[in-house]
Structure 1
Amino acid sequence: MSYYCDVTTWHHFSEWWGDVTVPHGCSASRGRSLGLCTAPSPGCHHGATGHYGVTAGGVTSPPADRCPQRLARVGPVLLAAHVRSVSLPGTPLLSRSPRAAPGRPLTLEQQLAASIARVLARYRFLLDSFVIEFFTNDQWATLPPSWQDVLADLPSPQLAALLLEKANPEEASYSMVWPLSLLAFKATAHALALPRAHCGGANSRPEEFQENLCQSTRLHPVFRKHVKPKKQHEIWQLGKLVKRLSELAQCEHVVDVGSGQGHLSRFLSFGLGLPVTAVEGNRHLVDTAKRFDRELVQVLEKERARGGKAAWELSLRGPSHVAGWVDPQAPWPEFLLLLQPGVDISHPPTAAAGTGPPSLEPGMRTLPMVLGRDVAQPARAAVDPTGARSHVGTGVPIGHLQEPGQPAEHPPVLGRVLLTGLHACGDLSVTLLRHFVQCPHVAAITSVACCYMKLSTRETPVPPGLVLPPTVPPATYGYPLSAWVAGLPGHTLSYKAREGACHAAEDYVQRLRSQSPGLRAHCYRAVLETLIRAADPSKQCLGVQTIPGAHCLSFHEYARLGLARVGLDPSTPLDAAHVDALLRRQQQVIAYFTLVLLLSPLVESLILLDRVIYLQEQGFQCRLIPLFDPQFSPRNLVLVAAKAQSASALSTLVEDDSKG
C-alpha cells in the first residue's frame, strides 16, 4: 500500500508557514526533509501529482518504506525537525512578523512568540470554542474532512499516544494514513511549546514520594502537616530555589505575595532561616496561617525539650503576616508602604448599611476598595478582584508567637528584597513583575503564575468573576505586557483560550490512557446543552455546577439534575432516539477536545514568553525553569529574574537546578 496526501493538504501546509515550500530532494535541518515525489515509485497508484515521499539527505525513501505505518511513525519526527528549521532567524516563517530594530537581531523568545501567535491565529476556531457547544454549533464539521476520517473512532488511548504525547509509546498504532496537515498540526504544537519536563527526571511520581505517596521524604514532618502532596512538592522545590537565589542576589528579605495559609512562607522562615513577610488578601487565611505557625512552634519546643536534634536545626523565627490587597494599578512606593508597620494609607469608602466588612480583630486594618472590593470582606476562598485568590495589601503583621491581635516586632523592609509568588493568580503575577522592574529595592523575583483567564486585556479589561466591577477602567493590562507581543498580528487571546491554558494536559493523558469513565462528562454536557436550548433558546452556555458522580449516572439521570439546575422542568420528555444518536458520538467529542488541549500549552507559552520579553525589553535577564513535576503541578514553569548586579546569579542558579 502506498501513502499519499492530496495537493490541497500540501497547499494547506505551505500556506500555514507563509510561503514555505520544500522542493523534492531538498535538505532540512540535520539532513532530513519532506519532499514532493515527482516520479511515483512502483506500486504507487496515485500518480506523480500529489504523492509525497519522505527523504533523508535528499534521497527518496525506497518503496519498501512507503507504507502507512512508516509514514505515520516518521512523519511527526520529520515534521518536527522541519518546524524547528523554519523557525530559525531569516526564514519565511517570520517574514510577516514585526521586524527587530535595525541592527538588532530577533531574540529566540521573540521568534518563538511570533511563531506561536501565527499558529494560534490560524486555529482560533479551536481555541475559542466551548466543547459544550459541540452539537449545537456542529463543531465536528469545522475540522477538515481528512481529520474527521482518522479521528472519528480513534480509541482514547490512541488519542493520547498519537496526539498529546510527544514520544510515540508502544500503544501508538496507526490504523490508517494520517493527513499531512494533521501531522504538521501535532508536530508544530509540540515543537513550539515551552518544555515542561521537570529537570528532576521523567518518573511518573517525584522521587520524594516513591516511599510514601502522601509524605515527601525531603520535608521535615512539621512542614507536611496540613499540606497536600502537591503543595509539599511545590514548597520544597520553590523554597530551595528562593533560598539559593536570595544568597546569590544578596537579598536581605523575602516577600511572599499571595501566601494563602503560609505553607511556603513557613518553610522559608522556619525551615530555611530566611526573613519573610507573608502577604495575603483573605483575612481568614491569614488567621489560619498564624495558627499553623503557633502549632509548629509548639511542636518544635516539645521536640527540643525532649532532646530532639532535628528540632534544633530549624529556626523559631517565623514569618510576619500581612493582610490586605495589592492594587495592580498602584505605584511601587505604595506597595512598599503596604509592608511597613504603623502606616495607614487606607481611606475606605463608607459601605451601605448591612454591606460593610466584618469587624477586624485588634491589630488589623482595613484597606481601600480595590477594583470594587473591600479587602476585609470574607470569602469562601481567597478571591481577589480579578477572581484570583492572591491580590494582597497591608495590615499590621502578627508574629508567630503572639496571641491574635498583638502586633509583633516587624523589621522594616529595607535593603535588597526578593519577591516570590507561588501560583499568584491573574494580574497579580504581572503586578509583581512590574514592581520588580520599577522598584529599586527589589533585586530578584521568582514568579509561578496561574489563572490566565483572570488576566485583564484590552478586549476584556474586567475579566469575568469580579465581585464588583471597577469604577475606572485599568490604565494597564495583564496581557500583553511586552511591546513586542503587543505588535504581533493575531496576538490576542480570548478568555476561553486563556482558560484552556490552565488545563492539566498530563492529567488528561492519564484519563485517556486508562479510558476513564469520567471522559463521558464532556459529551453528557454537550448533549444537555441541546436539550436546554430546545426548551429555552435564550438559555445558552449557562453555568451548570458540577454534578457529583456524573460519569456514574445514566444520561437521563444526569439530564434531570442538569435541567433543574438551570431552572427548567426536569421531567421534560426526551427524544430517546435523538439523544442516543448524540451519545454514540462521544468519541468525536473526546477527539475534538483533545485537539483543543493540544494547543493549550502554546497559549501558556505565549503568555509566559510575553513576560520574558517584557523583562528583556526593560534590560533585565531572566529564565523560565520547569521547576515542578507537571504530573503534580501542571503550572510548573517559574520565571526567575535578577537585576544587573545579580544577573550572573541566574546562570549559576540554572546550573544548580539542572543538577537536581
Structure 2
Amino acid sequence: GIKPDEFMNNKKSHEVQVMSELVDSIANYCGIKQVIDIGSGKGYLSSFLSMQYNFKVYGIDSSSSNTNGAHERNRKLKKHWKAYQSRGRENLKSQSLDKANDRPVESKINCKAIHEELLNNASSLQNQDQVIIQDPSYSSTDMATPETNTETEADLVTGTQSHETKLSEDVLAVLNVLPADAAEDFSSSREKEKVLRKMTSLKTKARKSSESNLYFPLTSCITAETELNGIITDLEDCMVVGLHTCGDLAANTLRIFTAKPEIKAVCSVGCCYHLLSEQFENQEECHNQVWGFPMCQYLKDKGWCCGRNARMSACLALERVAVGQMLPTESLFYRAVLQVIIEEIYGVTKSDRHVGKTFSKSSSFIDYVRQSLKKLELDDSKLPDSCIMDYYEKYKHRMNELEAFNMLKVVLAPCIEVLILLDRLCYLKEQENIAWSGLVKLFDPVKSPRCYAVIGLKNQSC
C-alpha cells in the first residue's frame, strides 16, 4: 500500500489540499487550463494540481536537485494515485471533524454550504478581521475591512469611510472555497445560483480537456525580468501560483503577474521574510536593482525600511506559541553566547556564512561552539574548553531575559508580517490592469504559520 509520508507530511498535505482547491476555483472561473508553479520545490503542489484537478502544470525551481526529485516523486505518485486519493479524502474528513470541535457551528458545513453562509449571513462576519477582501471598484487607496476605516496620516493605506458594497459575481466565484470566516460578502440567492451554475459548467469543461493531467518540472532561476516564453514554449493564458516562495521570489511572482499579459491570475503565499532585499536598508543606493521591499509606491515615497532583525521576527509563529509550542530558548541562548564569543575573541561582526542547524547536532555547548566556528571558518584551536565554558557561566543567569526578549519579538511578529503583506497587496492596487485583489488567511496558522495568500485577477481586456 501507499506510504503518504513518502510524498507529503501532515503540514504539507494541509497546505497543498487547501491551496489546490482555491487555485482550481480561480482557474476555472478564468477559463484557464495552464498553471505555473513558481518556486515549485519538490513538486507537491504541482503534482496535486495536475493529478487531482487535471491542470497542465509547469513547476519552475532554481534547484536542479529539486527538479529531479520532483520528477521521481511524481512518477511514484502517479503509480499510487488511487490509493493516495482515498487516503487524502480520509485526511480531509478527519481535518473537518477536528475543526468542528474547535470552531463555531458554521465551520461544520462543507464548501457548498460555506458559500451559502458567505452569501446569506454576511452580518455574522462583521466582527471578524482575519482577512482583507477588496472590491474591484475600489481605488488603490481604499481598503475593505470588516469595520469602518478611520483616516490617520500614519496609516499604510489611506482612504475614506468604506461604503456598503457587495462583491461582484466574479469575486463570489473565487470565494466559493474559502472558509466561512475568510471574507465579508453580500449577495442575493439569484446571484448565488448563477455563480454555482457557472462554476459547475467550467469545472465540467476543464475535466474534458485532452491536454489535462500533465506536469513538467523545469529548472530555472526566476527574477522580475524573467521571460516565461523562453522557458515555456507553449505558454498560453495561465495562472501563476507560489506556495511558500522564499524572500524576493514572492515579490517577483507578483511583478511577473502584473507584467505578463498571458497571466490572468495569481495566488502567492510567501515566506522567509528575512531573505527579502530592502531598498532603504543600506545607505548606498543601487538604482537599477529590483527590491523585495517595499513594493508599493506609497512606502517607497516614505523611504520605509524594516531591517533584518524585524524581518527575522516576522518569521516567528505567534499562534504556535499561543497553543503551547514554546520557543527553543536553549538554542537561542547558545546562539547569543556564540555571537559574543566570535565578536570578542575573533573580532568578527559580520559573516556571509551561517551556523545553520548546528544545535540539533551538538552534544554540548562546547561541541556547539566548535562546530559553529568550523562552519564560520574560524580557528577553534585558540579557544580552550575552559574559556568556552567561562562564557556560558557568565551569561547563564540571563537566560530568562533572553526568553522574555524573544517572547516580545513573537508578540510583535504579526505586525511586521502584515506590513510586508499589505505592501504587496497595495502594489497590486496600484496597477491599472488588476480587476480584483485580496489578502486571504488560507491555512491553519498553527499547522502552517505563513498562512496568508495574496490573490489577484486581471481585467478581462488584459
Query: What TM-score range do you get, normalising by the shorter chain?
Result: 0.5 to 0.7
Aligned with residue 324 of structure 1, among 187, 208, 220: 220
**Superposition pairs for residues 454-469 of structure 1, below 5 Å?**
454-459=275-280
Q: 1:530 aligns with which of 340, 359, 365?
A: 340
Match for residue 298 of structure 1? 79
Q: 1:302 deviation in Å?
A: 10
Is 2:85 the partner of 1:276? no
Aligned counterpart in structure 1 of residue 379 of structure 2, from 564, 567, 576: 567
User: How far does residue 630 in structure 1 lie from its aligned partner after superposition?
Assistant: 1.3
SS state at 1:584 partner: helix
Q: What is the SS of the residue equivalent to 1:277?
A: strand
Q: Distance in 2 between matches of 1:639 and 1:290?
A: 28
Q: Distance in 1 between matches of 2:229 and 2:48?
A: 23
Match of 1:285 in 2: 66
Structure 1 position 429 matched with structure 2 position 243: no
**Structure with bigger gyration radius:** 1
Change over 3 Å in CA distance of 1:476–1:580 after alignment to 2: closer
The answer to whether the Cα contact below 8 Å between 1:269 and 1:317 also exists between their aligned partners in 2 is yes
Instruction: Give the C-alpha shift of residue 240 in structure 1.
Output: 0.3
- CA distance 1:328–1:587, shift in 2 (3 Å): same
Q: 1:623 aligns with which of 410, 434, 438?
A: 438
SS at 1:623's partner residue? Answer: strand
- Quick one: which amino acid aligns to residue 526 of structure 1? A
For 1:579 and 1:277, the matched residues in 2 are separated by 51
Classify 1:567/1:292 alpha carbon distance in 2 versus 1 (closer, same or farther; 3 Å).
Answer: same
Name the counterpart of 1:76. none
Q: Does 2:235 match 1:413?
A: yes
Q: Is the 8 A contact 1:279 1:324 kept in 2?
A: yes
User: In the alignment, what sits opposite 1:597?
Assistant: 410
1:453 Cα deviation from its structure 2 partner = 2.5
The one of 263, 271, 275 aligned to 1:450: 271
Whether the 8 Å contact between 1:255 and 1:418 is mirrored in structure 2 is yes
- Tell me how far 1:562 sits from its aligned partner: 5.2
For 2:299, the equivalent position in structure 1 comes to 485
Report 1:67-466 matches (<5 A). Answer: 225-299=6-80, 317-330=213-226, 334-340=227-233, 412-414=234-236, 416-459=237-280
Query: How many residue pairs are counted as aligned between the two chains?
Result: 329
- 8 Å Cα contact 1:268/1:276 also seen in 2: yes
* 2-structure distance, mates of 1:222, 1:251: 32
Contact 2:366–2:389, Cα closer than 8 Å, also in 1:
no
In the alignment, the residues of structure 2 paired with residue 612 and residue 449 of structure 1 have an alpha-carbon distance, to the nearest angstrom, of 12
Inter-CA distance 500–573: structure 2 relative to 1 (3 Å threshold)? same
Describe the shift of the 1:235–1:224 C-alpha distance in structure 2 as closer, same or farther (beyond 3 A).
Answer: farther
TM-aligned CA distance change 1:562 to 1:262, over 3 Å: closer
Structure 1 distance, partners of 2:53, 2:442, is 18
CA contact (8 A) 2:343 2:349 kept: yes
Q: Aligned pair in 2 of structure 1 residues 223, 435: CA closer, same or farther (>3 Å)?
A: farther
Letter matched to residue 230 of structure 2: L
Amino acid at match of 1:604: E
Query: How high is the TM-score relative to the length of structure 1?
Result: 0.45
Whole-angstrom distance in 1 between the partners of 2:83 and 2:24: 27
1:584 corresponds in structure 2 to 397
1:240 partner amino acid: E
The alpha-carbon distance between structure 1 residues 552 and 252, as it changes in their structure 2 partners (threshold 3 A), is same
Cα deviation code 1:100-126 (max 9, x no counterpart): xxxxxxxxxxxxxxxxxxxxxxxxxxx
For the 8 Å contact 1:529–1:541, the answer to whether it is kept is no
More helix by share: 2
* Residues 224, 232 of structure 1: 8 Å contact kept: no
Q: CA deviation at 1:545?
A: 4.3
Is the Cα contact below 8 Å between 1:561 and 1:570 reproduced in 2?
no
AA aligned to 1:291 is E
Give 1:575 deviation, angstroms.
9.1
Corresponding residue number in structure 2 for 1:640: 455
Distance 1:460 1:571, change over 3 A: same
Distance in 2, matches of 1:233 and 1:579, equals 41
The 8 Å contact of residues 320 and 326 in structure 2, kept in 1 or not, is answered as: no
Which SS does the other structure have where 1:260 is aligned?
coil
User: Alpha-carbon deviation of 1:221?
Assistant: 5.9
TM-score, normalised with respect to structure 2? 0.63
2:158 alignment counterpart: none
Tell me, in whole angstroms, the C-alpha distance in 1 between the residues paired with 2:366 and 2:65: 41
Q: Is the 8 Å Cα contact of residues 223 and 267 (structure 1) preserved in structure 2?
A: no
Instruction: State the AA in 1 paired with 2:241.
Output: T
Q: CA deviation at 1:445?
A: 0.7
Correspondence 1:497 to 2:310 = yes
Corresponding position of 1:547: 358
The offset of 1:550, in angstroms, is 7.6
CA RMSD, aligned part only? Answer: 3.5
Deviation of 1:224 after TM superposition, in Å, equals 5.9
Paired amino acid for 2:7:
H
Q: How far did residue 523 of structure 1 move? A: 2.3
Instruction: Note the C-alpha offset of 1:592.
Output: 1.0
Opposite residue 324 of structure 1, the aligned amino acid is S
In 2, distance between residues paired with 1:582 and 1:302? 54
- The verdict on how the C-alpha distance between 1:227 and 1:579 changes in structure 2, with shifts beyond 3 A counting, is closer
* Higher normalized contact order (CA 8 Å, seq sep 6+, divided by chain length): 2
Q: Retained in 2: the 8 A contact 1:425–1:450?
A: yes
Deviations 1:282-336 (CA, angstroms, capped at 9, x unpaired): 2222222222222233335999xxxxxxxxx999833123222223234xxx223
Change in 2 beyond 3 A, CA 1:579/1:422: closer
The code of the aligned residue for 1:522 comes to L
Q: 1:503 to 1:429 in 2, by over 3 A?
A: same
How far has the Cα of 1:460 moved from its partner? 5.5
Closer/same/farther in 2, CA of residues 646 and 261 from structure 1, 3 Å limit: farther
Judged with a 3 Å threshold, the aligned counterparts in structure 2 of structure 1 residues 432 and 532 are, in CA distance, closer, same or farther, namely closer
What's the % identity of the aligned pairs? 27
Residue type of the partner of 1:521? Answer: S
1:519 aligned partner: 329
Contact conserved, 1:329 with 1:475, CA < 8 A, in 2? no
Distance 1:301 1:524 in 2: 47
Gaps of 5+ in 1: 1-219, 304-312, 341-411, 462-471, 648-660
Structure 2 match to 1:106: none
Which of 471, 476, 481 aligns to 2:290? It is 476
Mapped to 1, the partners of 2:461 and 2:335 lie a distance apart of 52
- Is this contact kept in 2: 1:248–1:646, CA < 8 A? no
Whether the aligned pair in 2 keeps the contact of 1:521 and 1:551 (CA below 8 Å) is: no
Corresponding letter in the other structure for 2:291 = Y
